[in-house]
């Protein structure tokens, strides 16, 4: 018996599915089968949530080499310190929705097919 195919439309996640960002490149490598260790995109997302929150709420840099411009480039987000956290949290929320859709499909035994 073959597994049923679950199509996941990436157009539902425009903040995550942006082929011009290093974030999407890291996620794609992980989900397309190059699963060597941790999901680098998700790891960077988790660390960046901590870092951007600290920066936006207290004006503190997480460490001496940290640059907000690196986070902006990686996730393709824009804004000032005041709006940056809200913009970042939109990316966070979309990723969590996409991840839940992936995990639910896997639990049900579906073969996942990504579509635009």
What are the tens digits of pLDDT across the range 5-23? Answer: 888 888 999 999 998 999 9
Q: By percentage, how much of the chain surpasses pLDDT 70?
A: 95
Residues in the chain: 116
DSSP, collapsed to helix, strand or coil, labels residue 59 as coil
* Cα torsion through 6, 11, 14, 16, rounded to 10: 30
Q: With bands split at pLDDT 50, 70 and 90, how would you rate the model's confidence at 1?
A: very low
Which helix H or strand E contains 75, and what residues bound it?
Answer: helix 68-75
- The contacts of residue 13 (CB under 8 Å, 6+ apart) are 94, 95, 97, 98
Q: Which residues pair with 115 in a beta bridge?
A: 9
Averaged over 80-85, what is the pLDDT?
A: 89
This prediction has a pTM of: 0.86
* 81-94 average pLDDT score: 93
Residue 12's nearest CA partner among 98, 104, 92, 108 is 98
């Amino acid at each position: 018996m073959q597994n049923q195919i679950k199509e996941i439309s990436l157009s539902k996640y425009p903040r995550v599915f942006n082929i011009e960002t290093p974030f999407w490149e890291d996620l794609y490598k992980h989900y397309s089968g190059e699963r060597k260790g941790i999901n680098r995109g998700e790891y960077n997302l988790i660390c960046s949530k901590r870092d951007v929150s600290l920066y936006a709420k207290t004006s503190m840099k997480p460490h001496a080499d940290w640059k907000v411009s690196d986070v902006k480039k990686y996730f393709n987000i824009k804004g000032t310190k005041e709006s940056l956290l809200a913009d970042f949290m939109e990316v966070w929320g979309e990723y969590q929705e996409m991840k839940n859709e992936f995990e639910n499909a896997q639990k049900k035994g579906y073969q996942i097919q990504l579509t635009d």
